[in-house]
Structure 1
Amino acid sequence: MFNLLVVDDEKIAVKGITIGIDWEPFPIGQIYEALDVNEAKLILAQNRIDIMISDIEMPGANGLQLQEWVRTNSPHTETIFLTGHANFEYAQQAVRLGSFDYVLKPVDHDRLQDIVKHAIEKIKEDQEQLDFHETYKMYYSHWVNELPSLVEKFWQELLGGKIPVNEERLSRNFQMYDIPLQMTSTIYPILISVENWKEALNARDEEIMEYAIRKAAAEIIVVDQLGCVIQENGSTLVLLYDVEGNQPSLSDIKARCEAYISACHRYFQCSLSCYMGEMTPLLKLSAKVGDLFQAERNNVTRSNCVLMENETDQPLVNKPQAPTFADWMVLLEAGKKAELVARIQENIDRLQHADIGPETVEAFYYGLLHVVYHVLHKKGLAVHDMLPHQELQDYGNATRSLNQLRNWAVRIATISCDYMNSHLKGVSAVTAKLCQYMDEHLDEELSREELAASVYLNPAYLSRLFKKETGLSISEYSLKIRMEKAKKLLAESNDKISYVAEQAGYSHFSFFAKMFKKYTGLSPQEYRKNFQG
């Protein structure tokens, strides 16, 4: 609905319009009356007036002066002027002041209704146009805010091969996302690899910190250059555009990367390296980024530095062998945490001063895993009760660098020793020897008397001693180690279940299946399906 204001110093003229004209067919809500300019201003200030019909000649301030005030204070109001004089100067001023129309008195009611009808149509059109512009402005603002994410998604899809590398498609995307590149453009790619967080972070905190290092890369490395920072395969990738007027030198880029590494070390408490690629044509960018990721995988000794592409391709020499782990087994079995951690630290220190490749790191990783699995299994303890599988076998993070390998190895050694000490605390040499004997003869049906003879004790006394020190009877302990071995084989191999039963010391498959379900609540088939699934 639209509001109407009629302004005239003659009351009868006002009433002739407000009452004398049938406004029922028009979408008119409120009709206001004013007998002078001051009264009209008050109404306009307190109410939304869409159409104003005003006389020009009035005592004091006239209608043209009122229109000047309306232009500033109620610019959406459409004004229709009335006057008893056919003065051309009035018409000129009315047009100059933005009035909608100009009508001579005496007013023809049909003519005035027609003018008001057109004024309403204009107001509707103006409102629709205003709504369109406001909507466009809102969505444009959203577009601008989302543009960095859209640019990042574009580069991720291009590097991942999801966007065909043809001139028409790329030119359209460059124009859409305001990327100042052409098919012939070249780019400097820089891979940022976070090697270690000094403080332990949960998944949410690590995601926040990685966002922070991407923002810092934009502020320190890209800064006033044309380019962007994206997330690629879990790492941060900087792309500097080599276009006219924006041609950074390699020495300048390297200096910025060094400043960036220093800032991240200071403010984010992390160590990281920057792998700098050479100036690369757009068509070969995906392959070049792949080369940088390969260089990151090959580098396990250098940290907190900028590595140029030609520096990461040098062959490695004098690769030391991975350490032997027999003495580590002895230390873990004895629960000597300090000595085991010291051995790990010494070995990694030696590796850091040698030229090694990722295969040496892998050998160290799998060697320590073997030590943990072997010793705990020997003691009849379940590895998965000590630590979830995904935390124990964290290959992706543990083998990225020697620093991360050190953190993982020390953590696993510490947890394993603590677990050993807490579960075998107070166990005598006799009980420990009996546990070892039972573990080594798992595939045999041993009687209590045979077990007692192996440690030279009376069977009844041995049973009481074993129960006192372990909390389990000999038969319960035997069942436990058999079931734990079966669980391990079911989870980590595809061997037939009948073979698993034999390895766990059961000659009859049906009896094994019965005991396994009683122990775990699942059949062997269900356990394998659930765990491997």
Structure 2
Amino acid sequence: MGKGRRTMMNLLVVDDEKFAVKGITVGIDWSDMPIGGIYEALDVEEAKRILSTQRIDIMISDIEMPGANGLQLQEWVRAHSAHTETIFLTGHANFEYAQQAVRLGSFDYVLKPVDHDRLHQIVGSAMEKIRADQEQQEFHETYKTYYQHWVSELPAIVERFWQELLGGKIPANPERLLRHFQMYELPLQIRSTILPILISVEHWKEALNARDEEIMEYAIRKAAAELIVAEQQGCVIQENGSTLVLLYDAEACLSEQEVRRRCEGFIAACNRYFQCSLSCYMGSYTALTDVAVRVADLWQAERNNVTRSNCVLTEAESADGASGRKREAPSFGDWSVLLEAGKKEELIQRIQETIARYQGEEIGSETVEAIYYGLLHLVYQVCHKKGLAVHDLLPPQELQDYAGATRSLHQLQNWAIRVAVSCCDYMNEHLKDVSAVTMRVCQYIETHLHEELSREELAAAVYLNPAYLSRLFKKETGLSISEFSLKVRMERAKKLLAESNDKVSAVAEQTGYSHFSFFAKMFKKYTGLSPQEYRKSFQG
């Protein structure tokens, strides 16, 4: 309730003398006060009935009444209508009464005969107290609601804090860090140490869409909190698409062997329940100011590991694996032939055999990258040769999946097989009879009939060697390029001669012949008739 808002209140007057009650309810002008209802009671029982059915904000009650008195009524009010403010009236200046009224939480105590102006003033003060209490209550309710929201969002807030700290958005300044620790209720001090553990999912055994994968990654983070952090202080956050565990001040109670044991149990549980393979990269206990550097080392360790899977790797073990030797990428010559011919099964087998040869060796990430870029170059090369656009064969996510494809040999093999399947399926579906290059040459000739085209010009249009283009075209159409060009020109000339009244010389120009005599000679050779004879025979 905002300040200054007038809220209507209800008033109850209790006295065994009816004229005393009327003197207050009728004899005092309450019109200048926000009073919504005025109620009267001649004894305690009647007052209780009203209090039980109506919200009474202010009660003016006599103390001395037959049967139950006003003090007994106030005890009942405290238990059943605690918000009600009570003003007592009495005809005796009895100090003991005053003490008991105060003890029972009454608002004020007035002697009879009642001064109406004085009582009016006291009721006004009671109303101000009620409004202040209501505002305070509403503030506490609002604060409580938002505090509960804040508490429920605290894990996400803490996760964002760590992400910003690791990303350099929050300076590792001791005073600022301490302020964040207090604000987010983190059990850390400036001298605290952090043990980072990077969890890298290497392979999902079941094909998942983006939504399902996000759900499973959430499940992995929850499992990491339960099995790795356990009773230890710490948190699990999402960082750069992977899961990062941060253990707080665990150096005194968790040995490296114990952390490894927890990570191994976590990996086994994920293998069983989440149908995935993953590895844990263990850092070492480090100061808060150096956490970002230590986590960056873990990212590098993950990048260098392309052969080991489903394991726990410490910093020392990761450093040993980083020295994997570079090996030459395979020759892609036979892959190119298989891809161009659409031999899907043979190409997949060749990919699997190649990756299998590398599996047992300590190779580095450079070798994996060389295979990735080699296959990608092969696809572009074949598309160029066939006159195709790469995006017709492969979706953008496959062309841009460098991070996923080069994470490990297993991921590389999955990516390479997906590429092989997409490309071969496209080749088999669209290039069964005539290749895309041949189709483009045919279209180019048909749209440039009015020009004199050379073999070199056609080859340049499809980015191929002229000799290779001639062989390819003859193989796929059964005609040489010159024979096909003549056929297209003559068929076009026949149509123009039959369906239009254009001069024969104009028809010659439209079909790419600058000399009428040469056109007439080629037309007669092709049809057995001169252009004029063909037109007359058609018209006849």
Q: TM-score range by the shorter chain?
A: 0.7 to 0.9
Q: Which amino acid aligns with 2:370?
A: A
Which among 17, 21, 27 is matched to residue 14 of structure 1?
21
The alpha carbon displacement at 1:74 in A equals 1.0
Residues 185 and 243 in structure 1, CA contact (< 8 A), matched pair in contact too: no
CA distance in 1, matches of 2:259, 2:128: 61
Residues 62 and 90 in structure 2, CA contact (< 8 A), matched pair in contact too: yes
Residues 119-152 of structure 1 show CA distances to partners (whole Å, capped at 9, x for unaligned) of 1121122112212212221222222122222222
User: Are 1:308 and 2:314 counterparts?
Assistant: yes
**Identical-residue share of aligned pairs (%):** 69
Q: Which amino acid aligns with 2:420?
A: A
CA distance in 2, matches of 1:170, 1:453: 72
Residues 14 and 33 in structure 1, CA contact (< 8 A), matched pair in contact too: yes
Matches within 5 A, 1:421-460: 421-427=428-434, 442=462, 457=478
Matches within 5 A, 1:278-317: 278-314=284-320, 316-317=323-324
Residues 20-50 of structure 1 show CA distances to partners (whole Å, capped at 9, x for unaligned) of 1111222222111112222212221222111
Identify if the C-alpha distance between structure 1 residues 298 and 215 changes in structure 2 by more than 3 Å, giving closer, same or farther.
same
CA distance in 1, matches of 2:470, 2:196: 70
The equivalent of 1:346 in structure 2 is 353
Which among 305, 327, 332 is matched to residue 325 of structure 1?
332
Matches within 5 A, 1:20-39: 20-39=27-46
Secondary structure of the 2:319 match is coil
Matches within 5 A, 1:412-491: 412-427=419-434, 442=462, 457=478, 463=484
CA distance in 2, matches of 1:309, 1:218: 22
The equivalent of 2:182 in structure 1 is 175
CA distance in 1, matches of 2:473, 2:140: 95
User: Are 1:248 and 2:250 counterparts?
Assistant: no
Identify if the C-alpha distance between structure 1 residues 121 and 144 changes in structure 2 by more than 3 Å, giving closer, same or farther.
same
CA distance in 1, matches of 2:85, 2:473: 112
CA distance in 2, matches of 1:372, 1:37: 96
Report the count of equivalent residues. 463
CA distance in 1, matches of 2:473, 2:301: 60
Secondary structure of the 2:313 match is strand
Matches within 5 A, 1:52-451: 52-242=59-249, 247-314=253-320, 316-317=323-324, 319-427=326-434, 442=462
CA distance in 1, matches of 2:120, 2:58: 12
Identify if the C-alpha distance between structure 1 residues 453 and 93 changes in structure 2 by more than 3 Å, giving closer, same or farther.
closer
Secondary structure of the 2:11 match is strand
Residues 340 and 427 in structure 2, CA contact (< 8 A), matched pair in contact too: yes
Residues 325 and 364 in structure 2, CA contact (< 8 A), matched pair in contact too: no
CA distance in 1, matches of 2:265, 2:272: 11
Residues 470 and 481 in structure 2, CA contact (< 8 A), matched pair in contact too: no
The alpha carbon displacement at 1:462 in A equals 7.1
Residues 324 and 364 in structure 2, CA contact (< 8 A), matched pair in contact too: no
CA distance in 1, matches of 2:98, 2:400: 88
Residues 459 and 465 in structure 2, CA contact (< 8 A), matched pair in contact too: no
CA distance in 1, matches of 2:420, 2:480: 36
The alpha carbon displacement at 1:381 in A equals 2.6
Q: Which amino acid aligns with 1:294?
A: Q
Residues 293-352 of structure 1 show CA distances to partners (whole Å, capped at 9, x for unaligned) of 000000011111111111000153554432111111111122111111111112112222
Residues 241-298 of structure 1 show CA distances to partners (whole Å, capped at 9, x for unaligned) of 1169x73222221121112222222232222111000111122111111110000000
CA distance in 1, matches of 2:154, 2:117: 55
Stretch of structure 1 that moved more, 262-271 or 301-310: 262-271
User: Where in structure 2 are there 5+ consecutive unaligned residues?
Assistant: 1-7, 443-455, 493-540
The equivalent of 1:522 in structure 2 is none
The alpha carbon displacement at 1:394 in A equals 1.3
Residues 384 and 463 in structure 2, CA contact (< 8 A), matched pair in contact too: no
Report the TM-score, using the length of structure 1 for normalisation. Answer: 0.80
Residues 166 and 291 in structure 2, CA contact (< 8 A), matched pair in contact too: yes
Stretch of structure 1 that moved more, 127-136 or 317-326: 317-326
Residues 326 and 366 in structure 2, CA contact (< 8 A), matched pair in contact too: no
Identify if the C-alpha distance between structure 1 residues 25 and 453 changes in structure 2 by more than 3 Å, giving closer, same or farther.
closer
The alpha carbon displacement at 1:196 in A equals 1.7
Secondary structure of the 1:99 match is coil
Secondary structure of the 2:202 match is strand
Identify if the C-alpha distance between structure 1 residues 440 and 369 changes in structure 2 by more than 3 Å, giving closer, same or farther.
farther
Identify if the C-alpha distance between structure 1 residues 457 and 226 changes in structure 2 by more than 3 Å, giving closer, same or farther.
closer
Q: Which amino acid aligns with 2:234?
A: G
Q: Which amino acid aligns with 1:188?
A: L
CA distance in 2, matches of 1:450, 1:135: 82
CA distance in 1, matches of 2:201, 2:249: 26
Secondary structure of the 1:313 match is helix
Secondary structure of the 1:213 match is helix
Report the TM-score, using the length of structure 2 for normalisation. Answer: 0.79
CA distance in 2, matches of 1:132, 1:453: 84
CA distance in 1, matches of 2:481, 2:134: 99
Residues 450-487 of structure 1 show CA distances to partners (whole Å, capped at 9, x for unaligned) of 779955955699759x99xxxxx9xxxxxxxxxxxxxx
Identify if the C-alpha distance between structure 1 residues 271 and 328 changes in structure 2 by more than 3 Å, giving closer, same or farther.
same
User: Where in structure 1 are there 5+ consecutive unaligned residues?
Assistant: 468-472, 474-533
The alpha carbon displacement at 1:87 in A equals 2.9
Identify if the C-alpha distance between structure 1 residues 370 and 92 changes in structure 2 by more than 3 Å, giving closer, same or farther.
same
Residues 329-376 of structure 1 show CA distances to partners (whole Å, capped at 9, x for unaligned) of 111122111111111112112222111111111111111112222223
Residues 228 and 240 in structure 1, CA contact (< 8 A), matched pair in contact too: yes
Residues 198-234 of structure 1 show CA distances to partners (whole Å, capped at 9, x for unaligned) of 2333333333332222222222211211111122222
The equivalent of 2:510 in structure 1 is none
